[in-house]
């Protein structure tokens, strides 16, 4: 349990820190309360499966939770910008991990090789 809890806690600290810096980057009030509020909104948007990945639901909830603190356009820019940046970074890290695992960027060659081995057996 200690091995899992430590890593889970560390991941939440990094998530909280990244939300804080995203808030600051979009000229919104970056503090612990607002960072936690964004994390809660992200969690709620995945619980309510109205759209894939909570897109739209998350933006509506952020606009509602932070109403009166900033214009809706800024809140939407923040939410969409943060989601887009996270998707790009995750995709880049994922493709890098695949390239390291396969030891090549030519993943189709690897798939063909695997299909050839499967047909032989």
Which residue range(s) make up the domain with 32? 2-120
Q: Which of 32, 10, 9, 6 is nearest to 21 (CA)?
A: 32
Q: pTM of the predicted model, to two decimals? A: 0.77
Q: Are the C-beta atoms of residues 54 and 42 closer than 8 Å to each other? A: yes
The answer for residues whose C-beta is within 8 angstroms of residue 55's C-beta and 6 or more apart is 83
* CB neighbourhood size of 115 (10 A): 10
Domain count, the chain: 1
* CB neighbourhood size of 35 (10 A): 21
Q: What is the pLDDT of residue 110?
A: 74
Among 14-18, 51-55, 112-116, the range with the most confident prediction by mean pLDDT is 14-18
Q: pLDDT digits over 63-110, tens only?
A: 999 999 999 999 999 999 998 999 899 999 998 998 888 887 777 777
């Amino acid at each position: 349990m200690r091995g899992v809890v430590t890593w889970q806690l560390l991941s939440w600290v990094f998530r909280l820190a990244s939300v804080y810096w995203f808030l600051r980057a979009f000229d919104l009030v970056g503090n612990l309360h607002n960072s936690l509020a964004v994390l809660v909104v992200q969690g709620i948007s995945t619980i309510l499966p109205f759209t894939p990945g909570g897109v739209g639901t998350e933006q509506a909830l952020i606009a509602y939770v932070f109403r009166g603190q900033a214009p809706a356009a800024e809140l939407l820019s923040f939410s969409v910008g943060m989601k887009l940046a996270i998707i790009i970074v995750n995709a880049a890290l994922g493709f890098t991990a695949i390239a390291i695992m396969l030891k090549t960027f030519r993943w189709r060659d690897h798939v063909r090789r695997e299909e050839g081995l499967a047909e032989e057996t």
